[in-house]
Amino acid sequence: MTENPFLHFLEQGHERGGFETDDVLAAVLSLMREVEAIHDAGQVAPLHGVSALLVHEDRALGLKSAEGIAPTSNAIRVYELQVPASHGVEIIGEMRRESDEDHYLTKVTNLDVANAEDEITKPVFLTDYANWEHAIGHHDALTDIHSLGMLLASLACGLDFTDPKDLERFANYRKNLFAIAPRLHPVIAGLIVEMTELHRGKRAQDLPSLIRRLENYRDQPVDADVLALPGLATATKVGRRRIIQTHLRDRLFEVSRRNRLLYFQSSQATLNLTTASVPLVLDFR
C-alpha cells in the first residue's frame, strides 16, 4: 500500500473503477481555493511533488501548511528554454522512433517527457509530479497552475505520474484525453489542456477564473472536436458517418434536456409572472 496520502487516495479511486467528475472536483477545488488564498498573500504553494498534500476526511485535497512559501525567479533561464528554434515553424511536440528490423519492432518515445532528475534542456513533463520550472529554480503562480492541472489530470484520468509510462501516456493523448478516460467531461478535459501547457505563454493565466469554470462546468457550452471521437480514425466511411451522427444526436438530446423552456419545473427559485402581474379581481368561490 502506498504511504503518501495523495497516491493512496489515487490508488483507492483506481480500485473503485475511477473517480466520477463530481468526486474529482470535490477533491481538487478545495486545494485550488487554498492555493488561491496563498497567491493573494503574495506566496506560492509547495506543490513540488505530492509530499505536501494531505487528504481530509471529506475526501478533499489540501496542503499540510496553508502558509505557502516565497516565490523564486529564474526568468532568464525560462526565456532561454522557451525561445523557439525557428520563428517560421512552431514545434508542437518531438518524438523519437526506433526500429528493430531483425525483430520487426518499432519503439516510439515522446521526447516531451523526462525523469525528475534529468537535466532540463527544454520545457518537458517531469515524473513524480514535478515541474520543469521547479527544476530550474523558478516558481511563481503560473507554476502552481501547471501543478494543479497535473493533479487534476491524474485524478480525472486515473494516471499515476510517478510512473513514467503513465506520464508518457498522458503526454501522448493530452489533446485527446477521451482516449484515456472516455467518460471525462469535455469542459474538464479542456481545462486540463489549458492548465498543463508546457509553454508558459500558452498556459491558463488566472486561477480564480479556472476555479469558477470548474464550479460551473455543467452550465458551460461544450465544443467537442468531432474528429477526436473514439473509433473515428479506424472506422470505415459508413462507420464514421454513424459515429458522427450518433454523437450529434446525443448532443442534441443533452442540449434539449437542459432547455428550461421545454422542461420547466416550478420551484422556489422561479416566479410565475403571468399570475403575479394580474390582480385578482374575481373570486370564483
Are 249 and 194 found together in one domain? no
pLDDT at 247: 81
Blockwise average pLDDT, block size 10, the chain, 285 residues: 83 89 93 96 93 91 91 93 69 71 73 87 92 94 96 95 94 90 90 94 94 86 66 83 85 69 65 60 59
Are 170 and 257 found together in one domain? no
Are 186 and 102 found together in one domain? yes
**Burial grade of 44 (CB within 10 A; 0-12, 13-18, 19 or more):** buried
Q: Are 167 and 159 in contact (CB under 8 A)?
A: yes
pLDDT at 273: 67
Are 16 and 121 found together in one domain? yes
Are 66 and 108 found together in one domain? yes
pLDDT at 233: 75
Judge whether 271 lies within some domain: no
Judge whether 246 lies within some domain: yes
**CATH classification at residue 187:** 1.10.510.10
Are 250 and 218 found together in one domain? no
pLDDT at 225: 63
The grid coordinates of residue 199 equal: 509553454
- The number of domains in the chain is 2
Judge whether 276 lies within some domain: no
Domain boundary among 173, 198, 222: 222
pLDDT at 246: 87
Are 123 and 186 found together in one domain? yes
pLDDT at 90: 63
pLDDT at 270: 67
Are 96 and 11 found together in one domain? yes
Q: Are 36 and 132 in contact (CB under 8 A)?
A: no
Are 228 and 203 found together in one domain? no
Which residues lie closer than 8 Å to 162 by C-beta, 6 or more apart? 7, 127, 128, 129
Are 177 and 248 found together in one domain? no
Q: What is the pTM of this model?
A: 0.76
Judge whether 51 lies within some domain: yes
Are 163 and 185 found together in one domain? yes
Are 182 and 51 found together in one domain? yes
Q: What domain range includes position 259?
A: 224-263
